[in-house]
Structure 1
Amino acid sequence: MPGAEDRALDALIACPTCDALHRLAEVPVGARARCRRCARVLLAPRQSAMTQIVMLAATAAILMVAAVFFPFLEIHASGLSRWSSLLGVVAAFSEGWMLPLTFGLGAMILVLPLARLAALIYTLAPMALGHRPAPHAALAFRWAEAMRPWAMVEIFILGAAISLVKISALADVALGPAFWALAVLVVVTVLKDTLMCRMTVWKTLEERRPS
């Protein structure tokens, strides 16, 4: 049985920005609890937020799969045309000393984003349905949070847009379905991250874990 000191520590939360300690209290749905020192939002529970996040994560995964297999762009120049998929973009660096770049690019724009979405769905789907967390759900969520800065689909689509502006001066460029799927994916990802209250997820994992 936990002692009084352990229970007192469990009732505290630290601000992720300034490390200020706060006593954990119930926050009504729709309200926000902010850090007294830096005004960082600590808790912001929303009605059916987990269900919405799971649906957005599933949508993002479908868009990612579509972006991999559909044409990304088509270039027309001097009577010739060539189209490329996202896999083709990744494989463009697969020769010689640039081979490691292929693995890094593939991991950051394909493997890590898909794995992170799968980890979020694995963590949140059972709790959204009112069940206990899946085995090792806390570890999966911790991994998903740690990999968030390394899933760089947003950076890739921004770099692709800048490159397309430069290429358009040399050739006619037609955007394929994969480009628009990635563009929608960025919007879905922003909505998902906006809805997610990480402190609430950790609190729910703690409250519903098997005793």
Structure 2
Amino acid sequence: MPTQQPSPPIDLDRLIACPNCDALYTTPTVESQDKAYCGRCHTVLIAPRRKAGKQLIALALTVLILITAATLFPFLAIDAGGMHHDASILQTAFAFEGALLGLSVAVMMFIVVIPMLRLILLIYVLTPIIRDRPPARWAKRAFGLSEALNPWSMAEIFALGCAVALVKLSDLAQVQYGPAAWLFAILVVIVVVTDSLMCRYSIWKSLDQ
């Protein structure tokens, strides 16, 4: 009887899984500015870009500045019944007391602390890479934590939710958008651009080297 030849061992480092449908592929060679898509759900798997690291750091620093300013500046002003009141996100967060104190903490964590922590971790990971130096200590853990926090980073979701709420509130009172509202609008655009520039596969590959 013919003997069955053992199959060659699989190089796990050459495999890549789709984050959406878990389809498994052998990592293709992708040139800069090209993209590799999942054949099942068409999710972008690899999208390397030249100087993307420097652009990501610049965008991350910009978002950090915007979040800080948007937290301190007035978000909106309301005129109703001859009374005027304006408030910043920081003032609103600390306005809760007692049983609502947990809501105050959640607001600050989801729209300020976690987004800023993700950006700081991203800058920490990318800075040595763009300078052609070995990865920073604990860079893999830092980038893994940054990715794990991504679903909990809700600064842009907060901005969109406020936009919808303020449209409905304008029927009851005169609402004026403060500087922080416009900063959050800019922040949403930059966050989308940052996500489109980031090639997670390329970052992990650089950390492995």
Match of 1:191 in 2: 193
Match of 1:13 in 2: 16
What percent of counterpart residues are identical? 47
Counterpart check, 1:99 vs 2:104:
no
Counterpart check, 1:141 vs 2:152:
no
Give the Cα separation in 2 of the matches to 1:192 and 1:38.
22
Q: Which amino acid aligns with 1:56?
A: L
Matched residues, number: 202
State the structure with more CA Rg: 2
Match of 1:28 in 2: 31
Report 1:1-211 matches (<5 A): 8-92=11-95, 94-207=96-209
Q: Which amino acid aligns with 1:190?
A: V
> What is the RMSD computed on CA atoms of the aligned residues?
1.6
Equivalent position SS for 2:93? helix
Give the Cα separation in 2 of the matches to 1:68 and 1:175.
14
Deviation string 1:95-114 (CA, Å, 9 cap, x unpaired) is: 12111111111100111011
Deviation string 1:147-180 (CA, Å, 9 cap, x unpaired) is: 1111111221122112211221222111111111
Q: Which amino acid aligns with 2:89?
A: L
Give the Cα separation in 2 of the matches to 1:199 and 1:73.
40
Moved over 3 A (4+): none
Give the Cα separation in 2 of the matches to 1:19 and 1:77.
53
Give the Cα separation in 1 of the matches to 2:36 and 2:122.
24
TM-score (norm 1): 0.90
Give the Cα separation in 2 of the matches to 1:14 and 1:79.
60
Quick one: structure 1 residues 163 and 35, their matched pair in 2 at CA, closer, same or farther if it must change by over 3 Å? closer
Give the Cα separation in 2 of the matches to 1:91 and 1:57.
26
Give the Cα separation in 1 of the matches to 2:191 and 2:151.
13
Give unpaired runs (5+ residues) of structure 2: 1-7
Give the Cα separation in 2 of the matches to 1:19 and 1:79.
58
